[in-house]
Homo-oligomer: A and B are copies of this chain.
Amino acid sequence: MPKVGMEPVRRQQLIDATLESVAELGLQATTINSISKRAGLSSGIISHYFGGKQGLIEATVRYLLNSLKYSLLDKTYGGCSAEQRLMYIVEANFAMVQQQSNTTRTWLSFWAQSMHDNELHRLQHVNSRRLQSNLAVSLAAFMPRAEAKEAAELAAGMIDGLWLRAVLSKADHHAFHHSETLAKRYIQSLIKQFGG
């Protein structure tokens, strides 16, 4: 059965299967069987590649966070205006909807779990700070640094809050897009307060 050099392929297969399972059943009901079955592999393979269920969960979160990180880097590659970059930040944070398998509820599961898992909390914290930092850098083009910092705090809250409420209400694609638009408009109003 074994071909050589399967490791990266199998790892991604298992991460994808984990995303599917968590989206469908929730983190609570996701087991190594529900994952391996979706991946078309045996359950033992999880321990082989990730050391256990916990390792696979954490690798999956790292994969999600990297996807978010690089989707923003891709959009801003080659440079853009500060305002355009702010809109890209909002888009990136709302984009996880149309991704394969409802990734949105998966984020929620991981966040809740991060309250009781140190490694998950570390990852979540890095991500949360990155959003705020990205916003602060771009907002600094329109206002003094101190004001930009506080505006970034508000903007990050608005983005996460509108996103959360859309997820929790099981919003359809249209309602989700509406929330994205509100978040963008709010950031533009922050800029205008400083004559941007």
A65 CB to nearest B CB, Å: 13
Contact B113 A28 (CB under 8 A): yes
Give Cα A124 to B28, complex, Å: 18
Interface residues on A, range: 35 or more
Stretch at the interface among A35-43, A84-92, A164-172: A164-172
Q: Report if A52 contacts B (CB, 8 A).
A: no
Contact B121 A115 (CB under 8 A): no
Contact B121 A170 (CB under 8 A): yes
* Given A25-B116, A26-B116, also A111-B162 (CB < 8 A): no
A contact residues vs B (CB 8 Å cutoff): 25-29, 105, 108-109, 111-116, 121, 124-125, 128, 150, 153-154, 156-165, 167-170, 179, 182-183, 186
Q: List 7 A-B contacts (CB under 8 A).
A: A26-B115, A28-B28, A109-B112, A111-B112, A154-B158, A154-B162, A154-B186
